Chain A
Amino acid sequence: DAGVTQSPTHLIKTRGQQVTLRCSPKSGHDTVSWYQQALGQGPQFIFQYYEEEERQRGNFPDRFSGHQFPNYSSELNVNALLLGDSALYLCASSLGSGGRSTYGYTFGSGTRLTVV
């Protein structure tokens, strides 16, 4: 049973560029959440997608946007990259925004984004 798959694993971008990160949820999961984790910090919630709509959003600017596809996979887009966007971006899947998940989230291994 495949877990959460994220691509790419590592990425280097230049300040001002745009980036797209991808996530395939665990089989049977329909909800995808994205987290940003700066070095030495705990993950911070960016947003959550359920039924192809953004359901919740954390304290992140509009430069961060996302999408969920009919097969439940998701993309995170970041425009106008800043040096401070350098972080590990984690995708987490769960079952149902309305709550039948026993284990909370299943996390992927993340995409390490470096902005230079």
Chain B
Amino acid sequence: DAKTTQPPSMDCAEGRAANLPCNHSTISGNEYVYWYRQIHSQGPQYIIHGLKNNETNEMASLIITEDRKSSTLILPHATLRDTAVYYCIGGRRTGNQFYFGTGTSLTVIP
């Protein structure tokens, strides 16, 4: 599974877009990029995943570079409830073990 690198912390003003970067230069061709977030003392929550193409759902957008070595999670209009630790994970679409790093702690500021 791909090793990922994320900044340890970020701030974002409420109502603005939050852009969370992730480097996954060792990702292989069949590995997806998954994003999860964890609000304090809860279990991680699925946000979005993608392989090659950009993806969008009701929570966020995922932009994957053409060489697949990095991606950006975009929360279009951050709210205070989006304050959480965000994990970027490279993994096969097989339910196999995920390797979590320490993630990015996002703080949304009023």
Contacts and interface: CB of A to CB of B under 8 A. Distances in A.
Interface residues of A, number: 33
A28 B44 CA distance: 19
Contacts of A105: 44, 46, 95, 98
Interface of A: 4, 31, 33, 35, 40-45, 48, 56, 58, 88, 90, 92, 94-99, 101-110, 112
Contact of B42 (A35, A56, A96, A109): A109
A108 B43 CA distance: 5
A60 B70 CA distance: 31
A103 B97 contact: no
B100 A42 contact: yes
Chain B interface helix/strand/loop/mixed: loop
Contacts of B94: 96-99, 101
A48 B96 contact: yes
Given A56-B96, A88-B41, A106 B46 contact: yes
A70 B84 CA distance: 36
23 contacts: A41-B102, A42-B85, A42-B100, A42-B101, A42-B102, A44-B100, A48-B95, A48-B96, A88-B41, A96-B94, A98-B94, A99-B92, A103-B46, A104-B34, A104-B93, A104-B98, A105-B95, A105-B98, A106-B46, A107-B45, A109-B43, A110-B41, A110-B42
